[in-house]
Chains A and B, each alone.
Chain A
Amino acid sequence: MSKAYPMPSLGAGMEAGTVVEWHVQPGQRVSRGDVVGVVDTEKGAIEIEIWEDAEVAEIVAAPGSRVPVGEPLLLLKETESTADQVVEEVWDEPSPDTPPAEEPHRRLRVSPVARKRAKELNLELDTLHGSGPGGAITLSDVETAAQEMDREGLPPSGAPEPVAEQDESGPDSGVDRHAAMRRAIATAMTRSKREIPHYYLVHTFSLESTLHWLGQTNRDRSPSRRLLLAALYLKAVARAVKNFPEFNGFWEDEAFSRAEGVHPGMAISLRGGGLVAPAIHDADTRSLEALTEAVRDVVHRSRAGLLRGSEVADPTITVTSLGERGVDAVFGVIYPPQVAIVGIGSVAERPWAEGGMVGSRRVVTVTLAADHRASDGHRGALFLEHVAQRLQSPEDL
């Protein structure tokens, strides 16, 4: 029985050695402690000893060959006093770790805690503007946005206007996103005023019966289920355009095309400036409850930046309101390629003559700005009156 005499390990750093010469030949008997040859290492030539009494059976590694530590140099024939077996040990090469996947590049600067909080609140970060270092969105930006989001009711809207900031952000923060939105609005509005021949109609009417009905309806409802006046406006406009389809659609390629559904876009001003007008889909067929819900939802999501693409692209007509801003009327600028925008002013108490009597009434001024290429003032007037009638019969909405 023969066994291998392996390349000895001569140092912690030695991986292999080169055989320089053998002092033994096959058939020769060797004793423990004999120098059997010389191995060259990176440190120099070192004599190698044998650790047992044996007979050399074969020289496996000829002089000049480089042999890793533990690989056989000689084959030995065992004699009776041969020491214990050489145990070969297998060393697993550590496999290199898989390189981690590259993180996708993010352009937004958001603090980690702000990102975490925004996720909890379902807030879309890129609608927020950052007040932190380098314009980073901070926890306080998110919290402030969340507080605004929680306010109920139709948000103030209309022409874009700078919104007064309540936080500590400096005038130069959030510049990039704000500027981008301003540029987009500028482009759309310039195109509108350059290309669209607007005509304007104004109609002021009493909202007393409507508000009375709304008060009665909401009286027994919990706050979260109370109908919003905004839902009534949207429904009235939506129902009206079913009868006046030339106000619901797009002027494209020198022609008007009617929209299939009625999806009024509701202008929502954003904190920090700018506005969006996402579609309230199929407003003509949805209940006031559903529309209220939809309004709340879309306001919330607009501020949070969670609008769906279709909501932004789908409006067939726009409704804008200045809500509690206090102005009597708003004359809108049509958002191309739409052909009409209905503007709703504040509800205000006014002296009002009716049936020969002068009394006090809560009134609203509703305007229509429409594209003269798609419709004429006569139809516009009828449409606006129709909106008023619908609004004044809320129970039928």
Chain B
Amino acid sequence: MKTTYREAMRGAIREAMHRDDRVFLMGEDVGHYGGCYAVSKGLLEEFGPERIRDTPLAESGFVGAGIGAALGGMRPIVEIMTVNFSLLAMDQIVNNAATLLHMSGGAFNVPLVIRMATGGGRQVAAQHSRSLDGWYAHIPGLRILTPATLEDARGMLWTALEDPDPVIIFEHVLLYNMEGELAEDAGPVSIDRAEVRRTGSDVSLITFGLGVVKAMQAADALEEEGISAEVLDLRTLRPLDTDAILETVRRTHRAVVVDEGWRSGGISAEISARITEGAFYELDAPVSRVCGVEVPTPYPEHLERAALPQVEDIVHAVRTLISGKGELS
């Protein structure tokens, strides 16, 4: 079945709504507008305004309401239009969703799913191009998912809804139009494990979200140069599948972490640290990172391109690591 990431995500929401009447979708413009990225287009007609619930522009309010509704026995899917606006809901996500179970000594769990679009690359400037997946991955009590394939777009949501604790799904804006084949019977997938998307022997490209697509392209380019790159799709940033990270490094002895987010204090730093802690003696070169340049994402096309990790940046990083001709950073 030919489909897109957007349609796969919509299919996942629709299926969840049919399977469990406690599930409802809530967020800005999810109903009458059809979703900012058209993910929920048509769902209002199918499920009605109670369950496809437009909210005021009140991120903290409706995210908190989602938490409360989860506490009250519902299975809310809260859509925050983009990660950029989630900063207005940080209090609810970090201080409540992530914390209540522990702070209540296990008395109250929060079965909430938050979806948000993330990432740059569409020339919408700094306030609409954030990659803060790593920030959220910093918080114990949350589970952070980054679907990068049609299968994951289709399958992660249901598994997330079955999780008794809060889950955030980051959907990269540049993935929504991604087309491909999806099995008719595609369904729930694991949200615990990273997946090797391509095997290789010389270097591991460790990444997530849109980075997976770019890393796969980079691996193709590298293959022509005789370099065999393995691509590890992390899929879940919290909890990180450390075993999978260490296993791929043990196979290839070299790692390049690709993260659209900034490197300082970012998830790439965490991955690098885990490799150093767990597979130091397997390393044949320093862990290398291809990250967003540390600047608020600029508007003009050429500057934005330069600010975000590109396929050729990944290829260059790998060459540097393997040929020994590049500089050590």
Chain B 276-295 interface 0/1 with A at a Cβ cutoff of 8 Å (1 = within): 00001111111000000000
Query: Of A112, A114, A115, A130, which one neighbours B324 at CB under 8 angstroms?
Result: A130
Give the contact-size bracket for chain A. 20 to 34
Would you list 7 pairs from A and B whose C-beta atoms are within 8 A, ordered by A residue?
Answer: A112-B283, A116-B281, A130-B324, A133-B320, A134-B324, A138-B284, A168-B323
B321 within 8 A of partner (CB): yes
Contacting pair A133 B328 (CB below 8 A): yes
- Cβ–Cβ < 8 Å partners of A170 in chain B: 323-325
B6 within 8 A of partner (CB): no
Contacting pair A111 B323 (CB below 8 A): no
B253 within 8 A of partner (CB): yes
A327 within 8 A of partner (CB): no
- Cβ–Cβ < 8 Å partners of B323 in chain A: 168, 170
Cα(A60)–Cα(B323), bound, Å: 76
Query: Of B280, B284, B325, which one neighbours A139 at CB under 8 angstroms?
Result: B284
B180 within 8 A of partner (CB): no
Enumerate chain B interface residues (CB-CB to A < 8 A): 253, 280-286, 320-321, 323-328
Cα(A116)–Cα(B321), bound, Å: 19
Chain A 299-326 interface 0/1 with B at a Cβ cutoff of 8 Å (1 = within): 0000000000000000000000000000
Contacting pair A173 B285 (CB below 8 A): no
- Cβ–Cβ < 8 Å partners of B327 in chain A: 133-134
Contacting pair A133 B326 (CB below 8 A): yes
- Cβ–Cβ < 8 Å partners of A116 in chain B: 281-282
Query: Of A136, A139, A168, A172, which one neighbours B253 at CB under 8 angstroms?
Result: A139
- Cβ–Cβ < 8 Å partners of B285 in chain A: 111, 132-133, 136, 138
- Cβ–Cβ < 8 Å partners of A131 in chain B: 324
Identify 5 new A-B residue pairs, CB closer than 8 A, beyond the known A132-B285, A133-B324, A169-B324. Answer: A112-B282, A116-B282, A134-B328, A138-B284, A139-B253
**Min distance, Cβ B245 to any Cβ of chain A, angstroms:** 16
Tell me which residues from 168 to 184 in chain A have a Cβ below 8 Å from any Cβ of chain B.
168-170, 172-173
- Cβ–Cβ < 8 Å partners of B281 in chain A: 112-113, 115-116
Closest-by-CB residue of B relative to A174 is B324
Cα(A338)–Cα(B283), bound, Å: 45
A135 within 8 A of partner (CB): yes
What DSSP secondary structure best describes chain B's contact surface? loop
- Cβ–Cβ < 8 Å partners of B320 in chain A: 133
Cα(A98)–Cα(B280), bound, Å: 24
Contacting pair A111 B284 (CB below 8 A): yes
Closest-by-CB residue of A relative to B320 is A133
Closest-by-CB residue of A relative to B253 is A113
Cα(A173)–Cα(B281), bound, Å: 23
Interchain residue pairs A-B with the least CB separation, the first 9: A111-B284, A139-B284, A132-B324, A116-B281, A112-B283, A112-B281, A134-B328, A113-B284, A138-B284
Cα(A46)–Cα(B315), bound, Å: 66
**Min distance, Cβ A177 to any Cβ of chain B, angstroms:** 14
**Min distance, Cβ A164 to any Cβ of chain B, angstroms:** 19
Contacting pair B324 A173 (CB below 8 A): yes
**Min distance, Cβ A149 to any Cβ of chain B, angstroms:** 19
Contacting pair A113 B282 (CB below 8 A): yes
Cα(A135)–Cα(B285), bound, Å: 11
- Cβ–Cβ < 8 Å partners of A114 in chain B: 284
Closest-by-CB residue of A relative to B321 is A133
- Cβ–Cβ < 8 Å partners of B321 in chain A: 133
**Min distance, Cβ B303 to any Cβ of chain A, angstroms:** 29
Contacting pair A133 B286 (CB below 8 A): yes
- Cβ–Cβ < 8 Å partners of A135 in chain B: 324
Tell me which residues from 130 to 164 in chain A have a Cβ below 8 Å from any Cβ of chain B.
130-136, 138-140
- Cβ–Cβ < 8 Å partners of B280 in chain A: 112
**Min distance, Cβ B163 to any Cβ of chain A, angstroms:** 35
**Min distance, Cβ B82 to any Cβ of chain A, angstroms:** 38
Chain A 336-362 interface 0/1 with B at a Cβ cutoff of 8 Å (1 = within): 000000000000000000000000000
**Min distance, Cβ B256 to any Cβ of chain A, angstroms:** 12
Contacting pair B284 A132 (CB below 8 A): yes
- Cβ–Cβ < 8 Å partners of A136 in chain B: 285, 324
**Min distance, Cβ B323 to any Cβ of chain A, angstroms:** 7
